[in-house]
Amino acid sequence: MTQPTTQSHLSSLQSKILHAPKAELHVHLEGTIGPETLMALSARNHIKVPYENAEEVRAAYNFKDLSGFLQLYYSALGVLVTRLDFYEVTYTQLKRAAEDRVVYVEFYMSPQSHIERGIGLDTVLGGVAEAIADARADFGIDAKLIFGLQRHRTEAEAFEALEAARPFKESFVAVGLGGVEKGNPPSKFERAFRQAKNMGWPITIHAGEEGPPSYIWEALDVVGADRIDHGVTAQDDPRLIERLAADQIPMTVCPLSNICLNVFPSLEQHNLKTLLDAGCRVSVNTDDPPYFNGYMNDNLVAVASALQLSDGDVYSLLRNGFQGSFASTNRKNELVAGLDKFWLA
């Protein structure tokens, strides 16, 4: 019989969470721009934003749904112009993640939003790659990049973006799909992702955040996704849950994001524990941490308390983060070994 979760247990578990090594697989680089950074870059680059100060930016963090958030997200990324901008945003986020003992990161990026503004991938990746190298030297954190296609655009634009990415193929570990989910099923980009696969990239798809379970099925069976970002609406289809668990498809769940965007009314009603108990390979991630009031430790501590997670539950979430990454098998084994050394000490 499962023992009830006590306050002393939660306190002990919280301490372990704070200090355990972690992977972060679902964080949007352009979504890590905090209010002060947004205003500073706006002033430095003479880019007008609809806010007078950081307090007004924070006041805008009252989202009703994913679409409302994305309006602010796309507006804010417009302040990124120079190589230095991309360097500073990347380095700042990696420094902050390292404070939460994140040792491995996979950043989603939105290259199409930069290319359309006349900012080349050489500028973007130059700043980002330099920051990743410096953060690795300074904090021991490793970071990779995901080329994120935007689902509100056309498939023709996706093909154009993939061609723009071709000279920078080694800079990305995967190609993904994000953006407004409703009305933009993964099948819309079937041929583009087939090309991405032919170019040698694995695929990760935002599906089942607000969209129906059918979008997750499409991501798996039409697009050929190797990983599902979010995926929480899978709970409405028991057969899909069985598929996700049987095939051990990684699912990058973002609890505090889900609350801020009204996917669930409260953390206590989140289905993370249900998915974990069903055998799904779920991990905890931040999505866009400044917007959703939570970095890695904030998310993990909050769900551990709200869902009364056990030591074993939290260990599984952390291990799933490493195992669900696009790192090499050897690197995954190294990362899991580091987690085991800490957790079992």
Residues with catalytic annotation? 209
Yes or no: say if 284 and 321 are a contact pair by the CB < 8 Å rule.
yes
Distance in angstroms (rounded) separating the CA atoms of residues 207 and 235? 13
Q: What is the residue type of 195?
A: Q
Whole-Å CA distances, 254 to 21, 52, 206, 243:
18, 30, 11, 21
In the block, residue with structure tokens 């880019």: 47
For residue 233, give every residue at least 6 positions away whose Cβ sits within 8 Å of its Cβ, in sequence order, or none: 208, 209, 210, 211, 212, 213, 215, 216
Q: What spatial distance separates the first Cα and last Cα of the chain, rounded to whole Å?
A: 26
